[in-house]
């Protein structure tokens, strides 16, 4: 056989084999192409190789070199087809196996969200007070002067009504020229409940309040309070003390001491500041007292018939005590490195 003829045959073989390998869309198809071209006995490559014996002796080195090139080209065409099928890219309509997955590749971790520590605290407070028989009510965060001050016996000249100490909303937005403000205390909800409900009453209300305070480690212009109100016949100060002590014991755990210091709030008489004993010191807990007869009258109750107590506690402080948080700003910076610890 002439050298040129032999070389041509090799070239044809190479392109035939590559084409068949490329076209194979299943392992089986590829395997039969492999046997056809690379089979050790009947393979076409083998057959062509045998013909080398008929090439002139002088041309043999050339023929041998070409044969080796074609062999390794066919080998790599086969390997390429093999890995294409294994990667699943050859998954044509007749692919038997479908795409392959590497089950050892680490999965993408899903970052689950969690409840904000203040929300968690609120849920716990509701739970504790619920066991003491208090049900939860809500009130609006935008209030009128009647509910935020007037009905609570806070007179127009009282410093708590100072525009600089409150977030009044521009008169342009007010209905009937009646000023409104972001509520500065949850005591507003006491009024709203008593206006609508006859005694006995046993409620708590937890939510946001707003005051234009300078921000520092213990102040923030928005914070949360829990308000409590109990109205019934013959309610006394000792009932108030029992409820606050049971509450503190449940929230802080163990036998917590509490003490009352005389204080003043326009809507309670007498008024107290309640402290509890925690971690070797007295900690301020919130304000409380017996509901002032003027407040009972403002909502249409008869102070001769019913009495009651009320209290208001700062939720941030309770949460910060429990978790040893030293700066209130952590709670509102929304840094997930902080929040994800709770």
For ligand DAH, the binding residues (CB under 6 A) are 185, 187, 227, 265, 268, 287-289, 310-312
Length of the chain: 342
Residue 128 CB, nearest approach to ligand DAH (Å): 17
Distance between CA atoms of 273 and 287, rounded to whole angstroms?
A: 5
Residue 311 CB, nearest approach to ligand DAH (Å): 5
The nearer residue to ligand DAH, 118 or 288, going by C-beta atoms, is 288
The nearer residue to ligand DAH, 52 or 160, going by C-beta atoms, is 160
Residue 176 CB, nearest approach to ligand DAH (Å): 26
What would the DSSP string read from start to end of 109-139?
PP------HHHHHHHHHHHHHHHTTPEE---
**Dihedral, 47, 49, 51, 55 alpha carbons, nearest 10:** 170
Residues forming a β-bridge with 143? 181
The nearer residue to ligand DAH, 43 or 270, going by C-beta atoms, is 270
Distance between CA atoms of 59 and 55, rounded to whole angstroms?
A: 7
Distance between CA atoms of 342 and 338, rounded to whole angstroms?
A: 8
The nearer residue to ligand DAH, 63 or 310, going by C-beta atoms, is 310
Residue 289 CB, nearest approach to ligand DAH (Å): 5
Q: Output the CA angle 247-251-257, nearest 5 degrees.
A: 60
User: By C-alpha distance, which of 291, 228, 284, 278 is closest to 260?
Assistant: 284
The nearer residue to ligand DAH, 25 or 271, going by C-beta atoms, is 271
Residue 209 CB, nearest approach to ligand DAH (Å): 7
């Amino acid at each position: 056989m002439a050298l040129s003829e032999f070389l041509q045959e090799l070239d044809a073989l190479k392109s035939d084999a590559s084409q068949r390998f490329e076209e194979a869309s299943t392992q089986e198809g590829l395997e039969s192409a492999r046997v056809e071209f690379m089979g050790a006995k009947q393979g076409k490559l083998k057959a062509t190789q045998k013909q080398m014996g008929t090439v002139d002796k002088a041309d043999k080195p050339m023929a041998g070199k070409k044969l080796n090139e074609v062999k390794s080209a066919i080998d790599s065409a086969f390997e390429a087809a093999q890995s294409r099928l294994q990667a699943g890219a050859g998954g044509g309509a007749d692919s038997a196996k479908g795409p392959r997955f590497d089950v050892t590749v680490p999965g993408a971790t899903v970052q689950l969200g969690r409840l904000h520590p203040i929300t968690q605290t609120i849920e716990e407070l509701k739970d504790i007070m619920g066991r003491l028989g208090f049900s939860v009510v809500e009130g609006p965060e935008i209030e009128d002067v009647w509910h935020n001050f007037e009905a609570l016996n806070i007179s127009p000249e009282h410093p708590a009504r100072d525009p600089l100490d409150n977030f009044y909303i521009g008169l342009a937005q007010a209905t009937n020229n009646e000023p409104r403000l972001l509520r500065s205390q949850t005591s507003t909800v006491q009024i709203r409940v008593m206006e609508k409900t006859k005694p006995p009453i046993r409620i708590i209300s937890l939510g946001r309040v707003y005051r234009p305070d300078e921000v520092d480690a213990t102040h923030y212009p928005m914070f949360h309070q829990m308000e409590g109100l109990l109205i019934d016949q013959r309610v006394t100060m000792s009932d108030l003390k029992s409820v606050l002590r049971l509450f503190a014991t449940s929230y802080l755990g163990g036998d917590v001491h509490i003490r009352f210091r005389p204080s003043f709030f326009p809507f309670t008489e007498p008024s107290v500041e309640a402290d509890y004993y925690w971690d070797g010191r007295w900690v301020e807990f919130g304000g409380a007292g017996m509901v002032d007869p003027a407040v009972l009258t403002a909502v249409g109750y008869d102070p001769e018939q019913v009495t009651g107590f009320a209290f208001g506690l700062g939720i941030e402080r309770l949460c910060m005590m429990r978790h040893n948080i030293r700066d209130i700003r952590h709670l509102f910076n929304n840094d997930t490195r902080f929040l994800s610890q709770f």
